[in-house]
Amino acid sequence: MVSPPSKEAVGITIKKNEDFSEWYTQVVMKAGLADYAPVKGFIVLRPYGYSIWESIRDILDKRFKETGHQNGFLPVLIPEGLLSKEADHFAGFTPEVFWVTKAGNTDLGEKLALRPTSETLAYSIFAKWITSYRDLPLKINFWNTALRAEIKATKPFVRTSEFLWQEGHTVHATEDEAEREVMSILGIYRELIEDYLAVPAVVGLKSDKEKFVGAKYTTTLEGMMADGKALQMGTSHHLAQNFSKPFEIKYLGRDTKEHFGWQTSWGVSWRLIGAIIMVHGDDKGLILPPKIAPIQVIVVPIHKDKDALVVKETAYEIARELKNVGIRTHVDDRDEYTSGWKFNEWELKGVPLRVNIGARDIEKGQIEFVRRDSRDKVQWPRSGLVEKTNELLREVQKALFARAKLLLDSYTSAPTSYLEFQSFIGDKGGFARAGWCGEPKCELAIKEETGADIRVITFEQNDIPDKCIYCGEAAKKVAMFGRAY
């Protein structure tokens, strides 16, 4: 028999608080989530990583359909003329666009962009579909990829040149309907991120400098990662009529007059997987929230040769019982690996709950649970398997969110002077809650001097400081500043 690789070879070899970037990369690679592709800036999503994306996709897809959205498909190539039809939008994306200039050996008459986002392409089509108020609202979602030229500071799931995402696009008869759509989607995203991914989100508006190019305003959900950097986890944009007018998305109203539509767009990407890793992972590897874990329970039979058959049969009985009530369960019955090696592998992969079963446990009519988050062990009667499993999964989910909330709180400060602001951002990082006069020049100066920008202007504008943290003039808003991925 070939000896399995050592635990040191497959396990995480760096502590999370010593070299966060290297720790993160090791978790991605060694947990079997992704691998690097031959082209710089691109990654290959492995089955285990893709299964996490499928969990996220299934949750959102269900919610979108419940709220009247339908799925569609768009091609990946966009003619340059279409992309440039909305000037601000085009200018904002030009530095990130991959261009196709040849078809085989033939030069193309017009450059084709590899889709950085789909507004211009979708809206040229919407203009053909919409003629009357009867065609509204139009609410379509696309599960696809986007390509943006991220060549330098790449990071698997967080910043890559191609990424999986969903992008929704809607057209409405009134601005009020469009604004309700923006907030409805923001609520769906918050439910996903907080209730399923167990990551607390700071919700609000982007500044004009940071909003989506071409939008009237952008709402955002910002998370705090374990290294003190913020991560934009989802955005929902009110586009007003900024696209419907250049693309002539018009409809004949009930008043028999012609009107331009009011639009929204919104999206999340696989960077949510990056957030899960960075917020919940530990020195052993990944920790997955039970609600989105592809495998919620791993059953490990522990036996000597003479007990192998009965222990394995019992392990599969346990798995069947759990699967019958919808708990995602897998049995690791590989004989070529020791129990200890299996324990470490499934801890690395972040499975929330492990069930150990051996001959002695069978004799006693019990099983052993091991929680991934706390590594606590619980002996429990075999007859109470399902109830206890569900209870422990709920506890793990709740504990992960509570721990992530403590992380967010520990990285949130309210500096009262610019010197204190600089010290906080430079030394620790995190969200600095500070007054802002509303002037872009102060926002830009802070970015240049500290690397921090306005991540979010929270909806709740309570206790606005008297002065702008930078210029000292009267503050008009309170904003959350931070360095970000």
Domain-by-domain residue ranges, the chain?
9-280, 297-394, 412-482
Look at domain 9-280 and name its CATH class: alpha beta
The CATH architecture to which 412-482 belongs is: 2-Layer Sandwich (3.30)
Helix (H, G, I), strand (E, B) or coil at 109: strand
User: The whole model's pTM is what?
Assistant: 0.95
Can you read off the two tokens belonging to residue 40? 């710089």
Q: Which residue has the tokens 């609000």?
A: 204
Cα radius of gyration (the chain): 25
Place of tokens 């069947």: 320
**pLDDT tens track, the chain, 485 positions:** 345 555 446 799 999 999 999 999 999 999 999 999 999 999 999 999 999 999 999 999 999 999 999 999 999 999 999 988 877 776 777 788 999 999 999 999 999 999 999 999 999 999 999 999 999 999 999 999 999 997 677 899 999 999 999 999 999 999 999 999 999 999 999 999 999 999 999 999 999 999 999 999 999 999 999 999 999 999 999 999 999 999 999 999 999 999 999 999 999 999 999 999 999 999 999 999 999 999 999 999 999 888 899 999 999 999 999 999 999 999 999 999 999 999 999 999 999 999 999 999 999 999 999 999 999 999 999 999 999 999 999 999 999 999 999 999 999 999 999 999 999 999 999 999 999 999 999 999 999 999 999 999 999 999 999 999 999 999 999 999 999 99
Q: 413: which strand partners?
A: 432
Q: How far apart are CA 237 and CA 240, in angstroms?
A: 9
Predicted confidence at residue 152, as pLDDT, reads 73
Give me the long-range contacts of 10-13 (CB less than 8 A, separation at least 24): 10/344, 10/345, 10/348, 11/284, 11/285, 11/344, 11/348, 12/283, 12/284, 12/285, 12/348
For residue 132 the two structure tokens come to: 């009357």
pLDDT of residue 5: 56
The number of C-alpha atoms within 13 Å of 82 and in the hemisphere containing its C-beta is: 19
pLDDT of 2 reads: 43
Distance CA 344, CA 13 (A): 13
What gap in Å lies between CA 17 and CA 20, rounded to an integer?
6
The CATH number of 297-394, from 3.40.50.300, 3.40.640.10, 3.40.50.800, 1.10.3720.10, is 3.40.50.800
Sheet of strand 162-172, all strands in order from the earlier edge strand to the far edge: 70-72, 138-147, 162-172, 262-269, 230-240, 217-224, 202-205, 453-458, 477-482, 431-436, 412-413
Count CB atoms within 10 A of the CB of residue 36. 16
